[in-house]
Structure 1
Amino acid sequence: MNESLETADGRQVLRIERHLAHPPEKVWPAVTEPEHLREWFPAEVRLEPRVDGRITFSFGSGPDAPPESVGRISAYDPPRLIAFSWEDELFRIELHPDGPGCRLLFSHVFDDRAGAASFASGWRICLDVLEGLLDGRPFEGPQRPSGRLHESYVELFGLADGTAEATPEGWRVRFERQLTRPAEAVWAALAGPATDRADTLGTAPPPGFTTGEFPAGPVTALDAPTLLEYAWQPPGTATGPDGSTGGRIRWELVSGTGHGARLVLEQTGPAGATAEAEQATALATWRERIEPLARRLAAEADRLDT
């Protein structure tokens, strides 16, 4: 199985190639007919099997079920190709004869790069189920991606790095990292024994939110368990006459993909002779802080799933 993440026309393209032990004629119904799709696809599907046909995705009829989504079939060539849209995302399934079996080429086009590990690990499970159904054997693996599998795709696709940019006020470093546990669990891991100190403006932030490279000032914005922001001041400098500081560090936990919160960590700093070095330090320092946190949460998620 080959998997890759590319950027094309400003969008993310996830590609998965898998060899199946069955010819395209046998696989085709499993990837196009609703009664077979419901066995492995992550939504109930209804479709008009033709180019420009309507395709509808639903998640049940309960009171908490999200509304149906509607897309269009852009390519339909039995038993070789089906391509369709799902909201603003694009999907393509190709079947190529390969000896007695076939190669299945699956692609998913989307914008949310930080969600790529969730998408890849989710489709990995779906395709595992599909292969088991085609082989006539029950699927005995996990029903949802493990934390370990999610983190393996973060590493494979290079999703752990932050980004840096210049701003009119100075510089900004930003990390956006999909995690595998909900916001409450992430907050508890960051606050640690100092949880009771993480709910007061004007106090020092708990050590889990800080790093020695950027001395922390008091908390300036707080909404536990999703937001904590504080000022930082370069060593050896004083607060400006207008109350200005070196910059700010903001931790935010927002809705994400998969089963966990999305961490958005942003640090700003002033322009000046040390700006480039500070920016590089921020990129390295916060990556070293976030990765152990993500691995710890992934292991915790797997323990809770067993």
Structure 2
Amino acid sequence: MEYGTIERSMYIEATPDVVYEVVSSPEHIKEWFPDEAVLDAVPGSAGEFVWGDRSSPDVYIVPLTVVDASPPRLFSFRWGHPADEVAVPANSLLVEFEMVPSGTGTTLRMTESGFRERGWEIATLEHHYNDHVGGWDKHLPDLVAYVGKLVASK
């Protein structure tokens, strides 16, 4: 197996504007991904995703840096770098969400890359890659369901 890039593509019955907001706005992100999202959709801005309660010893906080914010077609960020370091290819993974108009909705293409660039031993690489595959396989369907509820409520 390659363990280099994770790619997913899904059709969402919503406009690219709506899908862009759902993948780039903290109030929407926390509905389908982490328990808390702190970020500004502005290239270069730093933020974080939080899984769990901040007061718990089991909380999992992942720093991120927005790379591109081009509404309504592209939103990307680097994540997983040490909190005291600038995100670069050698210390972080790149997640890209591309929104492509498709019929009356949007094809969302998600790509996460940079696993090999981290320089991990093969067992660590496989672990992180497989963990992220499982995560996207859970969270992306949650994103589609959330958009469906969001659109239906308008």
TM-score w.r.t. length of structure 2: 0.74
User: Which residue is equivalent to 1:54?
Assistant: 46
**Separation of aligned partners in 2, 1:122 and 1:22:** 23
User: Which one scores higher on RCO, CA 8 angstroms, separation ≥ 6?
Assistant: 2
Deviation of residue 90 (structure 1)?
1.4
2:32 alignment partner, SS class: coil
Residue of structure 2 equivalent to 1:221: none
CA distance in 2, matches of 1:68, 1:114: 18
Matched residue SS, 1:128: helix
Distance 2:146 2:101 in 1: 19
Superposed counterparts of 1:192-203, under 5 Å: none
Q: Which amino acid aligns with 1:24?
A: P
Which residue of 61, 67, 71 corresponds with 1:74?
Answer: 67
Shift of 1:53: 1.2
**Residue in 2 aligned with 1:101?**
105
**Distance change >3 Å, CA 132–CA 91, structure 1 → 2:** same
Q: For structure 1, list consecutive stretches of 5 or more residues without a partner in the other structure.
A: 138-306
- Structure 2 match to 1:166: none
State the AA in 1 paired with 2:96: R
Aligned AA (1:77)? S
What one-letter code is carried by the residue in structure 1 that aligns with 2:93? E
Describe the shift of the 1:121–1:21 C-alpha distance in structure 2 as closer, same or farther (beyond 3 A): same
Task: Tell me the equivalent position of 2:11.
Answer: 19
Shift of the 116–70 alpha-carbon distance from structure 1 to 2, 3 Å rule, reads closer
Q: What is the letter of the counterpart of residue 58 of structure 1?
A: V
Q: TM-score, normalised by structure 1?
A: 0.39
1:66 Cα offset (Å): 3.7
Q: Which residue of 2 aligns with 1:63?
A: 56
Contact residue 28 and residue 79 of structure 1 kept, 8 A:
yes
Identity across the alignment (%) = 24
C-alpha RMSD of the superposition: 2.1
Amino acid aligned to 2:17: E
Q: What stretches of structure 2 of length at least 5 have no aligned partner?
A: 81-91, 117-124
